[in-house]
A and B are shown apart, each in its own frame.
Chain A
Amino acid sequence: MKLLTANFLSCAVKACKSSPLSFPLHFRDAELASKSVPYNPLLLSNLLPRLDWPALVTSSKELGFTLPDTKPELPRLSASSSSATTADGDMNMDGTVGEENEKTLRMLHKTVGNFLLPSHLV
């Protein structure tokens, strides 16, 4: 599961989608593994406008590292920034959601997140 993915995902329960609390999902008991990727300016220029920076900052804190509070300017961004970080290994992610206060625990198994829902939430 990647930090980047978490920036695109909210709770999959339909009733929660209209609630601001459905995003971002929160990492719990997660183990972070990071791996460097080559600097890809094309990707960054495409990606940055689509990122929710405050949510990314929140996620990064949950995983034990910090990002600047404001979205960096494009040309200055180095390869070591957010999109280059992957979280690897088994870890749990907890989606805390809207007024319904339905807590759905999303398991990550072999780095693959599971967002399937039980039938009472479909």
Chain B
Amino acid sequence: MFYSSRALSRIYQSPGFLKSIYEVLLPRRDYINTTAIRDFSSSSSVSVKMAATGDSPAPVSNLPPSMREYLIHFAQVHETFRKPELESLAKLFNIDYEILQYSEKAPFARIALPSNEAAKTLISRSILSKAIYELWGTGTTYDDLHTSIKSRTSHLWHLYKTCSFKFGFESFNGMRTESHKKQLIESFSYVGFDGPIRMKNPDELFVIMEDYEATSMVDLERLAALNIDEKVEAPARNPTHLDEPHQIYFTRLIGKSSRAIIETYDLKKRNYIGTTSMDAELSLVTANMALVSPGKLAYDPFVGTGSFAVACAHFGAVTFGSDIDGRMIRGTKQGKSLRSNFEQYKIMDRYGDMFVSDLTNSPLGRFGSTEEGGKRRSEQIFDAIVCDPPYGVREGLKVLGSRDPSRPKVPTIIDGVAQHTLKDFVPPKRPYSFDKMLNDIMNFASTHLVPNGRLCIWLPTADEDFNEFSIPAHRNLKLESACVQNFNKWSRRLLTYTRYEVDQDEPVTDGGVLPDATEENLDSAKAKLARTADALNPFRRKYFEGFKTPPSED
């Protein structure tokens, strides 16, 4: 039952179905000064334990000591990215957390965190959530909700007696009339807030949240009991959208997310973009997954028009980028260049540098002096590598080199002039296979990331003929998450890896020379080159070590 509803609900859960916040004035009259009586009869509540500080609501769930309970209001978009983004931010800010309840079918999730400060910090950089709230109570009906609120928060009510405030309403996959909302808000009058009601910038925002989406029910038996028939032909409305909410929450706003900056970086308003520029929302999410933060160094080896570079710089990293096509970086029109985007967003102080280079022959890395006075090659430079490499599905991938592997390795000389010394020389390029490119990216990330640095890479999940691509693996890179973005006919995913602190299962090499793809001899290079002609055939896929079978969607 639960699983059969998935395909249908996916369609109905497009962003447009999410109702925007409704703000309703709470009438000041009709206040009853209820004496708080803690009601322990509330069925769902476990033993109600007061938090040690006494300034937070008693938790709904069994929480570890010193943890408090919060509700995160997510955006109902890019569902598979939401949890990994949150986990990345918790890691970035070093915040302990425990997800208590989460469903991809609904925007409301419950989470345990150590403090309001931690909650505020965690959500401050989130792109896929809207805000975080202190959870005052929850119930399957309004009666349950009120019981829950009274039993958990009556000791807090006096704190909000005189401040200005506002009540908000969030309904997911359902709606109410204004008069009904007003009526419902009035039913909360027992909390006895006497302060002024402010529509703009109230001291405190309280929000009633309702979930009408049946498939987000945590209790599967309850869902089964509803006996929803999704196979009705041409239903008047989505059968999984209930008439009454199945879960209601009452919350107090703690902190807002960074979701508003999506508009700031909107591609439509960006000075310079290309046909494959990544949209602002997912670029920023990618930067979050890469744990980019002030003072760090980020690099995009397929920088193009700089979507990721801008997103990484927004979050404070000094960003470097390169592309095999310098025209993308420089731009073709006056005033339209990658650099101009940094100027537009006033983040030039985080413009590391951009250069023209090919991943297989990258200049990054050096043979520098060591503290002891010796010389050694070092390549660990970046805290984050983010990229959306060309997929090569429609247009062929290209890499430096001659098409003809048997061609002698000598400079081309015409009329006594070595052609590559000319100013307008364009180096020849040869076809490149997708698998080989992945292999090179993984090797590059392994050698160029600092310990615990992150690699974020966007890859298609299947080509036009629905041949699944596997998830690339590397012994020095730990896969953290795989998030899927579905399109009409295809999909792509964002893979996030962490560089292990030390190289795995490999003898430490002498003199610090790191083994990489550049060490191969000419013969093996030629042999590989010959095979790249049929880039995506099964033989090639097997050839590269560590490629696994793709995981199922769950």
CA distance A24 to B427 in the complex (A): 23
Q: Which residues of the partner chain A approach B365 to less than 8 Å between Cβ atoms? A: 8-10, 17
Q: Which of A5, A10, A17, A117 is most buried by chain B, counting CB atoms within 10 A of its CB?
A: A17
Q: Which of A8, A14, A105, A111 counts the most chain B CB atoms within 10 A?
A: A8
Contacts of B381 in A (CB 8 A): 8, 50
Interface residues of A in 4-44 (CB under 8 A from B): 4-5, 7-14, 17-25, 37-38, 40-44
Known pairs A2-B352, A5-B352, A113-B356; A118 contacts B375 (CB<8 A): no
A86 to B408, CA, bound (A): 40
B64 to chain A, nearest CB (A): 32
- B-facing residues in A40-59 (Cβ within 8 Å): 40-47, 50, 52-55
Contact of B467 with A by CB under 8 A: no
Q: Which of A10, A43, A110 contacts B294 (CB 8 A)?
A: A43
B8 at the A interface (CB under 8 A):
no
Closest Cβ of chain A: how far from B15's Cβ, in Å?
Answer: 36
Q: Tell me whether A118 and B357 are in contact in the complex, defined as CB-CB below 8 angstroms, given that A12-B363, A112-B330 are known contacts.
A: no
- A112 and B355 form a contact (CB under 8 A): yes
Nearest residue, chain A, Cβ from B317: A43
Known: A10-B367, A46-B297, A116-B358. 8 other contacts (CB 8 A): A18-B367, A24-B366, A40-B294, A44-B295, A105-B421, A115-B322, A120-B408, A121-B409
**Quick one: given A1-B355, A119-B402, are A107 and B423 in contact (CB under 8 Å)?**
yes
- A17 cross-chain contacts in B, Cβ below 8 A: 365, 367, 377, 518
A13 near B361 with CB under 8 A, answer: yes
Taking CB as reference atom, which chain A residue is nearest B409? Answer: A120
Contact residues in B for A7 (Cβ distance below 8 Å): 366
A20 to B367, CA, bound (A): 5
CA distance A104 to B295 in the complex (A): 33
Assembly CA distance A37 to B402 (angstroms): 43
User: When the two chains form their complex, are residues B518 and A9 in contact, meaning their CB atoms are under 8 A apart?
Assistant: no
* Cβ of A61 under 8 Å from chain B: no
On whether the beta carbons of A40 and B349 are closer than 8 Å, the reply is yes
**Which residues of B are at the interface with A, using a C-beta cutoff of 8 A?**
294-297, 316, 318, 320, 322, 324, 326, 329-330, 337, 339, 348-349, 352-358, 360-369, 375, 377, 380-381, 383, 400-402, 407-412, 419-421, 423, 425, 427-428, 450, 513, 518
Any chain B CB within 8 A of the CB of A114? Answer: yes
Pairs A-B, 10 closest by C-beta atoms:
A42-B295, A118-B420, A52-B368, A119-B402, A23-B366, A113-B355, A5-B353, A115-B357, A12-B363, A37-B349
A20 interface neighbour in B360, B364, B375, B380, Cβ under 8 Å: B375
Bound Cα distance from A114 to B330, whole angstroms? 11
A116 touches B330 (CB 8 A): no
Partner of B297, one of A47, A54, A116: A47
Q: Are A38 and B330 in contact (CB under 8 A)?
A: no
Verify B364–A8 contact, CB threshold 8 A. yes
Q: How large is the interface on A (under 10, 10 to 19, 20 to 34, 35 or more residues)?
A: 35 or more
What separation, in Å, do the CA atoms of A18 and B514 have in the docked complex? 10
B366 and A45 form a contact (CB under 8 A)? no
Residues of B within 8 A of A20 (CB): 367, 375
Residue numbers in A under 8 Å from B352 (CB-CB): 2, 4-5
Closest to A22 in B: B367
12 A/B residue pairs, CB under 8 Å, sorted by A: A2-B352, A9-B363, A20-B375, A37-B349, A42-B294, A50-B380, A54-B368, A55-B369, A109-B330, A116-B357, A117-B400, A122-B401
- Bound Cα distance from A44 to B294, whole angstroms: 11
CB-defined contacts of A115 to chain B, threshold 8 Å: 322, 355-358, 361-363
Nearest A residue to B294 via CB reads A42
A49 and B330 alpha carbons, distance in the complex (Å): 31
CB neighbours (8 Å) of B366 from chain A are 7-10, 22-24, 52, 55
Nearest Cβ on chain B to A77's Cβ, whole angstroms? 13
Q: How far is the CA of A9 from the CA of B518 in the complex (A)?
A: 15
Q: Which residue of B lies closest to A53 (CB)?
A: B369
Whole-angstrom distance between the Cβ of A109 and the nearest chain B Cβ = 7
- The answer to whether B383 and A46 touch across the interface, beta carbons within 8 angstroms, is yes
Chain A nearest Cβ from B353, distance in angstroms: 4
Q: How far, in whole Å, are A18 and B362 apart by their CA atoms in the complex? A: 14
B518 to chain A, nearest CB (A): 5
Residues of B within 8 A of A111 (CB): 339
For residue A47, give the distance in angstroms from its CB to the closest CB of chain B: 7
Contacts of A107 in B (CB 8 A): 423
A114 to B353, CA, bound (A): 12
The CA-CA distance from A121 to B361 in the complex, in Å, is: 9
Q: A5 and B320: CB pair below 8 A?
A: yes
Q: Which residues does chain A contribute within 8 Å of B368, judged by CB atoms?
A: 23-24, 52, 54-55
Cα-based distance from A38 to B348 in the complex (angstroms)? 10
CA distance A7 to B364 in the complex (A): 9
Give the residue of B330, B369, B412 whose beta carbon is less than 8 angstroms from that of A118: B412
A122 lies within 8 A of B361 (CB): yes
**B295–A43 CB distance below 8 A:** yes
Let me know if A14 and B410 touch, CB within 8 A: no
Q: Is the CB of A119 within 8 A of B427?
A: yes
A32-B400 Cα distance, complex, nearest whole Å: 31
Instruction: Report the separation of the CA atoms of residues A19 and B513 in the bound assembly, to the nearest whole angstrom.
Output: 11
Contacting residues, chain A, for B375 (C-beta < 8 A): 20
- Using Cβ atoms and an 8 Å threshold, which residues of chain A touch B295? 40-47
Chain A nearest CB, measured from B364 CB (Å): 6
Contacts of A45 in B (CB 8 A): 295
> Are A117 and B361 in contact, with the CB atoms below 8 A?
yes
| Minimum CB–CB distance for B50 against chain A, Å | 39
Q: Do A118 and B356 touch (CB < 8 A)? A: no
Q: How far is the CB of A78 from chain B (nearest CB, A)?
A: 15
A81 to B383, CA, bound (A): 22
Q: Which residues of A contact B367 (CB under 8 A)?
A: 10, 17-23
Contact B355 A119 (CB under 8 A): no
Q: Give A116 to B400 CA distance when docked, in angstroms.
A: 7
Q: Is the CB of A120 within 8 A of B411?
A: yes
| Residues of the A chain whose Cβ atoms lie less than 8 Å from the Cβ of B320 | 5, 8
A25 to B401, CA, bound (A): 23
